[in-house]
Each structure stands twice: as C-alpha cells, then as structure tokens.
A and B are shown apart, each in its own frame.
Chain A
Amino acid sequence: MTETRPFVEIRHAKKSYGSLEVLKDISLTVDRGEIVAIIGPSGSGKSTLLRAINDLDPLTGGEVILDGTQVNKALPHRQYEKHINQMRQQIGMVFQHFNLFPHLTVRDNVVMAPKLLKGISEDAAQKLAEEQLAHVGMLERIDYYPSQLSGGQKQRVAIARALAMKPKLMLFDEATSALDPELVEEVNQVMKTLAQEHMTMIIVTHEMEFAADVCDRVIFMDGGVVVEEGPPSIVFQNPTQPRTRDFLRKHLSQYEKEK
C-alpha cells in the first residue's frame, strides 16, 4: 500500500493572544473529498482554527499544510505575500456575514478575482459567472446588487464567488448563523450539492442536524483543544467525553425547543 499524505494537515497548531491561549496544540488531518464539521461552544477556538487554515488569523505556532505545501511558511514579507496569495486562491472561504462586495453586481462579485488574478477574458468571465451562479441557483440575479438580495441569496452568491476561483478546499465559517431560519435551507442545499461533488470542506457550524446529515466526520472543540472526533453517528449518538455530552445536551434540546 502506498503511503499518501493527508490532503489538509494541521500540525501542533497554537494560537495565543497575550497570555490567552485560544488554540492549544491542535493536530488534525482532512482527506481529499472529506467533509468535516467543527462544532463547539463559542470561544472554543473553532473559528480561529478555521481562519488559521488560510492564514487569516496567523498561528503563533504549528503548521498548516495543504496538498503537500505549507500554507503558513516562514518567508520574508514580500515572498510570503506572494506565496499566501497563491495559496488562498486554492482555498475558498465563506463567512457568517457573507462579505459580498456591495459596490459590485452579483456578476462582478463572482468574476472580479478570477479576472484580476487569472487574467481571464471578458467572454470567459461571463461564462464563468453564469456557470457558477447557475450552480447556486442565482443566475437570474446576475445583474443585481447585493443590497437587493435576501441573506440566503447573498450567501449563495458568496459561495459562487469562492467557487469561481476553483478552490481545492472550501472553508465555511458559520455560513448560516446570520440567516433567518427560513433561509437556512437554501444555503444548506447548496452545501449539500458541493458535498455530492466531493468538494473537500471544513465547516464550522452550530447546526447539529446539518453536520450529522452531510459530514463524514465531526470534530468537537472546547477550550482550544479537540475534545472528541469521529463519524457523526458516534459523536452525536454516543459521545465518549462528558464535555461533548454536555454541549450536545444543551444544543440538541435547544434545537428540540425551536421545533
């Protein structure tokens, strides 16, 4: 059997703000095509870990490796900037608050980066925009501005924008947390489609049902460490750690009440 390196590898990730340790020596791997959910209470470090993967929140120690290349390489400033911009083109990210560019149309939100960074032609850009927007069911809004869209629509455009760079890996940072409940489903649907297409995804979420439904593996974090990880059937049904049980009891009962 040939030894293959994991697709995403986080080694001894540490992050602290002053004396506050947010990430305490976290190591984990994600395989190509795998879909991983990171769950945990707020302040557990899950978003920080996600944002460390594309170096948006640089680690204070440890390594992030994507497909054999270290993302957070120690390089002189200029070289590092070149390197990280290159790496980030391969890592799509979707934010809780969408962060669409309000001064650009839906089309230009999607193709601005490919045009600028890959130098694709106007025709190719138009095709790319249509293709990506059709994929998230937003083609008919191509000429709209973000201010004219609902939250769910904005998030779908934000996903299309990230996918237009043809990333190898997608990061979702509480992509549905800011949405009205009735708009969550349309975004989840798009993420499920991506899952069926075997996009590698790391998803920070509060939605246990979605995580159980879509993800291959669930990672429970608390206090800057990975407390428990495993397939959703085990983590959700049969957690071994008391902290996981505690968290799930609160979250699942909350979920039951909402229903």
Chain B
Amino acid sequence: MGLDFSVVPGFADALLLGVLWTIAITVAAAVLSFFGGILLAVIALYAPLLVRLPFRFFAWLFMGTPLLLQLFLIYFGLVELGIDLPAFVAGVIGLGLHFAVYNSELIQTAIVAVDRGQMEAARTLGLSRGQALVRVVIPQAVRDVIPPIGNNMIALLKDSALVSVIGVSELTLSAQLAIGRTYRPFEFYAVAAVLYYFINLGMEAVLRRIERRTQLSR
C-alpha cells in the first residue's frame, strides 16, 4: 500500500482551522510571554526579597519541569481547586508562562547590561527610578534581546503542538482527528509539518521586520 495524498483535500477546512488555532494560541501565548517576561525580569531584579523568592521558585518550577506536565497541571489539576479553565485559555497560560520565564532570563541580563549612564541621565532630568526603568532602561533592554526572544517565540510555536493533548483543536490535533478517520498518519502528519513550516516562515518574516525597525534606535 503506497501513500495517497488525495485524502488530504477533504480535510482542508479542518486543517486550515487548525492552522488558525495554532496561530491564535501562539500569538496569545507570545504576547503573554513577552510582557510576562518583562514583569518577571523587573521582579527578579528589583522586588524585595519576600516577593522575589516565591517568583524565583515559580521560575524554577517552569524551567525545571516538562511543559507537558505544566499543561496537565493547569488544565486538569486546577479543576480540583475549583478553577476550571477552557482548554484554549489553559494552553495560553501554560505556554505563555513557560516562555515568560525564559524571556525573563534574557531581559534580566539585558537590563543589567544597559549603560548606567542611561539611568543617570533619566534620573538627572527628574524621572523617578520607576519612570526611568519604564521609559529608558527597559525599552533598550527589550530592543537588545529581540533576536533571542524571537528564537524563543519560534520554539513556542513548535511547542504549541503540545496543547493538542488538552484538547485544543490546533493543527496537530486536527491532523490527528483526520488520521483517526482515514488511517493515513504519514500523509496528514507530513502535511501538518509543512503547514508548521509555513507558519514558521511567516513568523520569521515578522520578527525580521521588527528587528529592522529597531535598527536605527541603537
């Protein structure tokens, strides 16, 4: 029995919907991981010890345990505590927080690396420390780590396939459902792989644009 891709077009709508869900969850989780990463970085660097320690533990938890387990914990585990999140929301939170921790590590390093004179110049004009951080230091730190954050976002896109296990009908789950109906695993997984690749290309193009736009401001 050879390969038969003629079964694929019949599932085009379902796969396209899967692509849209994958993009939706990736974008939502990327936004959460970006701003969450900034917030975590600021907490790690400037919050008092009593605030910092629990967050340190949280970061360790998210970096030191499998993302799959984290998704299970958020989706299935939190129900026991009376928090019943929709699968999509649980997926966004899991992916978003997981990558927020990684982004935070990058942003922390970048904040520390911003020239001390920048903070001094801002303070000299009369800005408070907080204002100087928000207006002067953090924008530069974030700008400096856009390329590695971009790499994290590509990893996030690929790891978004994991949310299929909690029932978000994104691309991987759509392919699995089609396989369940047709018993054609190779065809649908291959098509899904190609679709991921194209989403990836689109994402890289967006990231390159952002990088180019921040070029002048260095």
Contact = CB atoms under 8 A, between A and B. Distances in A.
A69 interface: no
Nearest to A96: B117
Contacts of B127: 85, 113, 116-117
Contacts of A92: 124
Contacts of A177: none
Q: Interface of chain B, helix or strand or loop or mixed?
A: helix
Interface in B125-154: 125-129, 131, 135-136, 139-140, 143
Contact of A88 (B126, B140, B214, B217): B126
Interface string A90-103: 01110101011111
B126 A86 contact: yes
Given A81-B129, A95-B117, A112-B135, A102 B124 contact: no
A203 to B, nearest CB: 16
B123 A103 contact: no
B48 to A, nearest CB: 13
A248 interface: no
B115 interface: yes
Interface of A: 54, 56, 81, 85-86, 88-89, 91-93, 95, 97, 99-104, 112-113, 116-117, 145, 147-148, 158, 161-162, 165
Given A116-B127, A161-B125, 19 more contacts: A56-B123, A56-B124, A85-B126, A88-B123, A89-B126, A93-B121, A93-B124, A99-B115, A99-B117, A99-B120, A101-B118, A102-B217, A103-B217, A113-B127, A145-B216, A145-B217, A148-B216, A162-B124, A162-B125
17 contacts: A54-B124, A81-B129, A89-B126, A93-B121, A93-B124, A97-B117, A100-B121, A101-B121, A101-B122, A101-B140, A103-B140, A103-B217, A104-B217, A112-B125, A116-B131, A145-B217, A165-B125
